Structure 1
């Protein structure tokens, strides 16, 4: 059953039309690192049948990137200069929340992270084709699969120490009557474990916030805890993804795709699945970012759809609960979009 107030449904709400394997996920409690065992990888060299050794790299601009194409010219992968995020062609799958309004996203795009930021000179590095050999056609869970693990009704999964690392996430604990929603719910609050960051800073979860993740906490849960992107405990510029949406937008890592000009960006065609989207929802005078989401791609009606954790939906959703999860329909979130980055 769902942990969210007023949203108790049976799982089965997000369809992934493909058999999915898994990877080992590092879980840190204090100074200890534990690996959560998953199913083995199922990798293929190229869905098109072209040997990886024969794939070609082509340079593109806006943003500067290297695309990998097969003998027929089909794009199989995109590496963006200065980013670790890679999109790969893979088996088709569908993401949906049919218990809520909103169109499904059916896609062949899989989103994974490189060990380091992409440099165009890496095209000739031996490790690149080895990496492609491993990941083209792989059905190991990717960034989008990780995100769906926290939607309404998502089933729980626990490790050997009974730490829940998957399952329905709420936005935050119920606020006192007449008070605004309680925020500042980070990924370690969801997990309910102490967390030691790379700089030695230690954070302890608030038991009241167990199972919750606000918008930036959800992004850190998906990209940091699950996908392995470095995290920092503060909102300062540093070697990882900072805590709040505003800091992610202003000083966080990644390649800017849509700069914040104070208005609504229109060049949505530069986006690819996995990109971070930043919004100004409260429309304050300073006009600063206060919400972050993960772009999913085009839905069945052609709309640009995203997933994010938000108050009115009481947690992560890609549906149209408490506002449409779209960037181009003139709705609440569409009017509030300000910028985008690629990690």
Structure 2
């Protein structure tokens, strides 16, 4: 076990947490809304967990919470365990049952135990994205802070660049320029961007459009800010369908006297089929006019298939055919303030994951039986609950026993590099909390680097969950004894605690038939190691039977089960001669049970 050099124990800290959350308890064992559950699990997962009925994504006041529990589940009102316990030897371990079926599964050599408990649902909704373009990537607009990498369409790479805190589009007459964020699953959305031009256009107008619900550059909605050669500023709401443009709401003049480098904001909102847009001048001392929309309409399309329900957001620039002077278009801020995934990942099952004080020896002892009986009715936070408490929209919890440090709450991966905008590896569990730490297993003391406050990289996230919260001892140096949790994911894959469940041959994906909820999964995303440059925790099957894992990732900026920058699934599209398939499906290399 590891503790800060000024802190008596981790266990004392956990007791102190109860008084810091609303209602006097950690917000992990109940939620404000009950939801239906997910699709039938795959055969490997079904063997250890009771699959639940198919369902839609959660709605209501708790829909954004990363974990939901139904307080009316009959489990809460029944005895646990239900009757006498029986044991059965299974390959690699022991299965424990009561009168209702399999209660727990233990693995010889591992400390993690899966148990039957009340039903839970794990989901995720997007977190806000704010891109101030405070970077200078080698080409294009680079990677946004949490929204993925900008993709550019039409023109050349040189037409898209970032410098001096702004993104630029080089316009030429009658040629559009598009830059889109990659997430095409966004449904309802509220987004805003701050636009400008370096000069007044001549010969014809120039425009910058805030694009939303984009299937691609030829199929989307957009609120287009137009600047005319006379300096008028107009806003029009349009739809482009199969490369044909329809005006949904006619252009409205929102300003006059435009001068070079004047800044204008445009906001769009899509709520169901309602589309709204407004524009206002920046720097006038007037806040966003929230009571006014220049455009508020429904898409008049009668064919539901031709109404854009979901899609990406981005920017479109255009100088008209008649333009003799085409200005440079500039974007100074791009924000997604709120958004939803209508088809959000949803994982539902009754499996809980807990950790023994020592690896299971294979023998059913009175001490082990006592622990399983105690866990049978335990709803205190487990591995899966803690893993949720760093994902988007997780509430913040501080610990007075750790000098008021934040110990739970939405985490980032790391702050972007000021030059490239890319995120760097380095945020360990204690740096999230801002605490210097002494590792009891090795006697090392490590200082917390301030730049990593509130951040967790992939192995730092796993060490936070399994190490700090669940008690597996950690080391900081490369000491490998098979019992402690090393710092780097490749070392955890090769020599971490517990047992390897599966390992693929060089460059190959291992079989998934032994996979269990709570297992750690390792991916070959490091050129220097085939054992694992990335690590996550398996959560279970989603509503489509896709096996989801949670990990802290650079592109979405923090722990996630979702698909920004790559699908968080283990059984997705395989690699073929003509396709690389799904990133993490094809780079999985090791499965380990701690």
Same fold (TM over 0.5): yes
Aligned to 1:70: 98
The answer to whether 1:237 aligns with 2:480 is: yes
Aligned to 1:202: 445
Inter-CA distance 212–65: structure 2 relative to 1 (3 Å threshold): same
- Which structure's CA Rg is the greater one? 2
| Residues 45 and 137, structure 1, Cα contact 8 Å, conserved in 2 | no
Taking the aligned partners of 2:449 and 2:416, their CA distance within structure 1 comes to 14
| Residues 111 and 273, structure 1, Cα contact 8 Å, conserved in 2 | yes
Taking the aligned partners of 2:555 and 2:79, their CA distance within structure 1 comes to 41
Aligned to 1:33: 8
1:199-249 Cα shifts (integer Å, max 9, x gaps): 221011001110111000000011111111111112231341000000001
Aligned to 1:279: 523
Query: What's the secondary structure of 1:164's corresponding residue?
Result: strand
Say what the alpha-carbon RMSD is for the aligned residues.
2.4
Inter-CA distance 78–209: structure 2 relative to 1 (3 Å threshold): same
Query: What's the secondary structure of 1:218's corresponding residue?
Result: helix
Out of 370, 379, 382, the position equivalent to 1:130 is 370
Taking the aligned partners of 1:45 and 1:338, their CA distance within structure 2 comes to 42
| Residues 58 and 68, structure 1, Cα contact 8 Å, conserved in 2 | yes
Out of 388, 393, 407, the position equivalent to 1:153 is 393
Out of 91, 97, 103, the position equivalent to 2:118 is 91
| Residues 44 and 135, structure 1, Cα contact 8 Å, conserved in 2 | no
The answer to whether 1:303 aligns with 2:512 is: no
Give the C-alpha shift of residue 253 in structure 1.
1.7
Taking the aligned partners of 1:115 and 1:286, their CA distance within structure 2 comes to 31
Taking the aligned partners of 2:469 and 2:81, their CA distance within structure 1 comes to 31
Aligned to 2:380: 140
Taking the aligned partners of 1:233 and 1:46, their CA distance within structure 2 comes to 44
Aligned to 1:342: 593
Taking the aligned partners of 2:6 and 2:399, their CA distance within structure 1 comes to 17
Inter-CA distance 342–190: structure 2 relative to 1 (3 Å threshold): same
Taking the aligned partners of 1:82 and 1:49, their CA distance within structure 2 comes to 25
Inter-CA distance 140–57: structure 2 relative to 1 (3 Å threshold): same
Aligned to 2:89: 59
| Residues 45 and 136, structure 1, Cα contact 8 Å, conserved in 2 | no
Inter-CA distance 233–49: structure 2 relative to 1 (3 Å threshold): closer
Taking the aligned partners of 2:112 and 2:560, their CA distance within structure 1 comes to 22
Give the C-alpha shift of residue 285 in structure 1.
6.8
Inter-CA distance 208–49: structure 2 relative to 1 (3 Å threshold): closer
Q: TM-score, normalised by structure 2?
A: 0.50
Aligned to 2:351: 109
1:153-203 Cα shifts (integer Å, max 9, x gaps): 211111222210011111012212226421111011101001111122101
Task: Note the 1:220-299 alignment, pairs <5 A.
Answer: 220-238=463-481, 239-282=483-526, 284=527, 287-299=530-542
Aligned to 1:50: 82
| Residues 258 and 265, structure 1, Cα contact 8 Å, conserved in 2 | no
Give the C-alpha shift of residue 27 in structure 1.
8.4
Consecutive unaligned residues of structure 2, counting only runs of 5 or more, are 19-24, 30-74, 127-340, 574-581
Inter-CA distance 27–59: structure 2 relative to 1 (3 Å threshold): closer
Give the C-alpha shift of residue 137 in structure 1.
2.5
Inter-CA distance 163–186: structure 2 relative to 1 (3 Å threshold): same
Give the C-alpha shift of residue 115 in structure 1.
1.0
Query: What's the secondary structure of 1:246's corresponding residue?
Result: helix
Query: What's the secondary structure of 2:513's corresponding residue?
Result: helix
Give the C-alpha shift of residue 48 in structure 1.
6.8
Query: What's the secondary structure of 2:490's corresponding residue?
Result: helix
Inter-CA distance 318–194: structure 2 relative to 1 (3 Å threshold): same
| Residues 416 and 422, structure 2, Cα contact 8 Å, conserved in 1 | no
Taking the aligned partners of 1:175 and 1:290, their CA distance within structure 2 comes to 20
Inter-CA distance 44–118: structure 2 relative to 1 (3 Å threshold): farther
Taking the aligned partners of 2:564 and 2:8, their CA distance within structure 1 comes to 37
| Residues 345 and 562, structure 2, Cα contact 8 Å, conserved in 1 | yes
Inter-CA distance 273–178: structure 2 relative to 1 (3 Å threshold): same
